[in-house]
Structure formats: structure tokens, C-alpha cells
Amino acid sequence: MLNPSDFIKKSIEDIKNTVGDGKAVIALSGGVDSSVTSVLTQKALGDNLIAVFVNHGLLREGEVEQVIKTFESRVNFKYVDASEEFLKELHNVSDPEEKRKIIGDVFIRVFERVAKDVDAEYLVQGTIAPDWIESEGKIKTHHNLALPKGLVLKIVEPVRELYKDEVRSIGTELGLPEDIIYRQPYPGPGLAVRIIGALTKKRISICRKANAIVCEEIEKEELNKELWQYFAVLTDTKVTGVKGDQRDFGYLVVLRMIESLDAMTANVPELPWSVIQTISKRITSEIPEVTHVALSISDKPPSTIEFA
């Protein structure tokens, strides 16, 4: 059994010994792994760790504000809004793997700029055990935004041997808020893998709003504790609907709400019908561009968790 306070003490020593007076950067996404790693490393390095939060324009509603609020007082925090740069490169790109590649490449470019600016020698990463144990034979190129290949930075991975539940216990010991520690896993490329087809500002906004509705309703009913991930997918299928007495032609949105232990397999649990209906009604009434909501009932395998 991991003793969080012993682990923290030992890690702080190890990080100090490795980095000394050098400067280090970490890509802080607000996900549990990078959050815990940032705060842990800050304890060892103080302001010599610069935690860089890159907004790629594909984040969820309220996410930027939440991450800024949580971390600006906890670490030497640097917010980089690169959303325009990402969206420009993603213009007219529909293939999911191509989207991932572009997002990874632009991320590296943006991150590299910051690392050079602050004269960093070390790159701290929130790699955890499943990231390297399971990193071979993945169906999709993934998973975490890639390591900056062009950068000559020495790597430090303080939680490399830990599993998710252990990382969470370290986070609790470090006083991180529950909404960060128990945040549902969110893919590095963000809404890009939840939007089938082109990534326009309009389509990103539709997907973001639909996702926010799913999260609000699931969390209101406290179903989030039972679910691994819950989200909405914006498809490129247009379907006929009716608004008032007029024919309407809008998007099909799919709800994906799954249980899983490790994302390797997943299943779709039976959820209260009233919740599903509320989500569906809210999406079609609050997002005029959507005419139809469908529920995904496919497990993994044969499906994957994300649609793209």
C-alpha cells in the first residue's frame, strides 16, 4: 500500500536531487496526472517549475476558468491561449488521425516556444504506469500529447510508477480540489475527437454546449461517480426535424455514457430514462442547430470509447 505522505517526501527529495537549481516546465492540462505532478514538483522546485497551460481551443465549457482558478495560486502558472493557431492549422481537416497529428505538432511548437522563453532545462511529465505499460498496440495514435521531440530537455517523471487511484491519493494529500482529482478522463485533443468532420468555430461551440449539458445533468444526479466518461458527440449527419410548424434540418448528436475501469474495455450501463430524456430535450431546445439526439449503446469492444 502506498503511503501518500511518505511518497511525497521521497519524491520531493528525488526531484530536488535531479533538477537542483535548474528550471523545469510541465504541460499542465488540469487532468489529474498533470495536476498532481505539477503541485508535487512545485513543492520541490518552487517557482523554478513553470506550469504551462495551453488552450488549444478544444476545451470544455468553463475549463479554462477552472484550471486558471485552481492553479494560479498553487504553482508558477503560465496560461497560453493558442486557440487561433490551432484552429488555423485544423482548417478543413476531417480525418481524426490527421487532427490528432496536427494538434500534437502545434502543441509541441507552442510548448517549445515557452520552454525556450523561460530557459528550461527539464521537462516534467505526468506519465503514470498505464501510459508506458499499455502504450504499445493502441488502436488510435494517442494518447497524451506527444513529448516535444525537437526539444533537448531532460525528462523527469515523478509519478511514473503509480496507478490512477494512487495518483488521486497523492492529489488528496496535496490538497487538490475534488473536481480536479475526480475529473473524468478527457482526451488530449479535446473536442476534436468528439466532432466528426470539420472543426469550425460554430461546430466546436455546438459540441461544447452539448457536452456541458451532458455533464450538468449527469453530475446533478450524481451519476458521475458510476461513470468513467460521459459526453456528447457532434456528428456530420444532418437530419430532418420540426420546429414549430416548420421543417428543420440540423445535426445529429450522440450521447456516450460509459462505465470502465481502465478504458481498455467499456460498457454502457442502464441509466435512468428521465436523465437521458432531460439531456436530449435540453440539447434540442438549447442548441438550435441540433434536431436529433441518439444514445450510443455499443460497448468497447467492438466500438471504441471516443467516436473518432
Binding site for ligand XMP (CB under 6 A): 100, 139-140, 142-144, 185, 187-189, 193, 229, 263, 300, 304-306
d(CA 280, CA 255): 9
Least CB distance to ligand XMP at residue 170 (A): 20
- Residue 283: half-sphere exposure toward Cβ, Cα within 13 Å: 35
Cβ distance to ligand XMP smaller for residue 223 or 263:
263
Q: In what order do the strands lie in the sheet with 24-27?
A: 76-81, 49-55, 24-27, 122-124, 154-156
Least CB distance to ligand XMP at residue 263 (A): 4
d(CA 112, CA 148): 7
Cβ distance to ligand XMP smaller for residue 143 or 154:
143
Cβ distance to ligand XMP smaller for residue 8 or 308:
308
State whether the Cα torsion 29-225-264-305 is positive or negative.
Answer: negative
Least CB distance to ligand XMP at residue 61 (A): 17
Least CB distance to ligand XMP at residue 295 (A): 17
d(CA 66, CA 64): 5
Residues 75 and 208: beta-carbon distance below 8 Å? no
Cell triple for residue 195?
466532432
Strand ranges in 183-245 using DSSP code E only, listed in sequence order: 229-243
Cβ distance to ligand XMP smaller for residue 11 or 144:
144
d(CA 83, CA 54): 8
Element (H, E) at 285: helix 273-286
Cβ distance to ligand XMP smaller for residue 74 or 140:
140
Cβ distance to ligand XMP smaller for residue 4 or 185:
185
Q: Which residue has the cell 494518447?
A: 143
Least CB distance to ligand XMP at residue 210 (A): 16
Least CB distance to ligand XMP at residue 303 (A): 8
Residues 42 and 73: beta-carbon distance below 8 Å? no
